[in-house]
Amino acid sequence: MTNARDIVLSILLDIEGNNTFSNIAITKALKKHQFEAKKDRAFITRLAQGITESKIKLDYIIDSFSKTPSEKCKPLIRALLRMGVYQIMYMDAVPDSAVCNEAVKLAKKHNFGNLASFVNGVLRAVARNKDNIAMPGKENMSEYLSVNYSMPEWLCKKIMEDYGEKGEKIIAASFDERKTALRVNTLKITREKLKEYIKDEGSVIDIIMEDGIYDENALLVSGYDFIRSMPGYRQGLFFIQDESSMCAIKAAGIKPYQTVVDVCAAPGGKTLNAACYMEGKGKIYARDISDEKLTLIEENVERLDIRDIICIEKWDAKKVDEKLVRKADVVIADLPCSGLGIMGRKNDIKYRIKQEQLDELVALQRDILSSVKQYVKKGGVLLYSTCTINPQENKENTKWFLENNSEFKLCTERQLLQGVDKCDGFYYAVLQRG
């Protein structure tokens, strides 16, 4: 298990030192060590994800027993302490003595032998007192929420101000277990047939399947090893898309033989979903701003074998493409946002987002909406969506849009909240041109 802990240490240093997103760092490490035992890969994933989502709480505990604050420690020592504290507090199957001993070994292995006794002392103090650690109380609600749910205090305050009594449920949802939502490729198979196929082909893997809650073409899965090794993946029988996102595409009322423009399409889930509703008939322009993002779309389109109706193009959504003006039945504008609805899936978001960035994102969204609205034909719809719960990026932007574009009317508007609804936080509005 020392090797597995060393891998976790490398992941933590990659995240902190190279500013790598945790999901990318974990995936990269698992791919490098893909031949490790499944239980070791599961240990690596759980420990790396757990530390990332709990950093603020872990640092609070460390600071309660260390004369040197966590933020003042060398990165490797801080990572070792976080790793040790997480195991002591949340992984009962691992003996505390083993946690301390392995942390000391890793300190020495990485040429920090002079700090090994410091690491050992802090971790053993935490282990002795783990049932009696004084945590912030609710008399200071923002500090209580920040420490207990490892979310920056300013963000806790904002969510509580925006959502009141629902706020703590939303914040706590970052720690909820999440199943992976799959959207069935209905151009090839039905949901029931896919379930049978996965069951028949995946008998050696304990894959748990449940029908989706919000969409009849959704399948919720867990217990798999790698998604790419799941039966049906390589055959293009499904693609990954959260149900909240499925709800948005369904609300747009996409039909066969329509022209659809997906202006910020990567990684391609909404484009593929639209193609299914179009029954493979019509035209979809799937666009994004970078070659890297376009590659993600291309990979999914190739895998699902939906090439004929999808045109993948590099385009800056802020710029108007004259050839598409008033040509689209549906414009899908799933725009860059703060991502506050998917903090449970991408644990880094809550640490990286800053208050001033929210205003910048609102302005960017308005710039894009002002351009892409021009593609909507008379009677067509603009689907505006984000994966955030920030009202300024959602309801307030829709209100602004309608006030400045009287030819559009609001048909449908929905805000989904993690911890309240059984899916990620997500917003969408269907706006029709009269």
The catalytic residues are 387
Look up residue 327 and give its amino acid.
K
The rounded distance, in Å, linking the Cα atoms of 424 and 346 is 11
Q: Determine whether 283 is exposed, middle or buried from the number of CB atoms within 10 Å of its CB (0-12, 13-18, 19+).
A: middle
Within a 10 A sphere around the Cβ of 376, how many other Cβ atoms?
27
Sheet hosting strand 376-386, strand order edge to edge: 310-314, 282-288, 258-262, 328-334, 376-386, 426-433, 408-416
- DSSP 8-state code for residue 118: H
Nearest to 293 by CA among 263, 259, 261: 263
Nearest to 284 by CA among 303, 263, 265, 311: 311
Contact of 166 with 173, CB cutoff 8 Å = no
H-helix or E-strand spanning residue 376 = strand 376-386
CA distances from 35 to 39, 169, 373, 406 (A): 11, 39, 49, 59
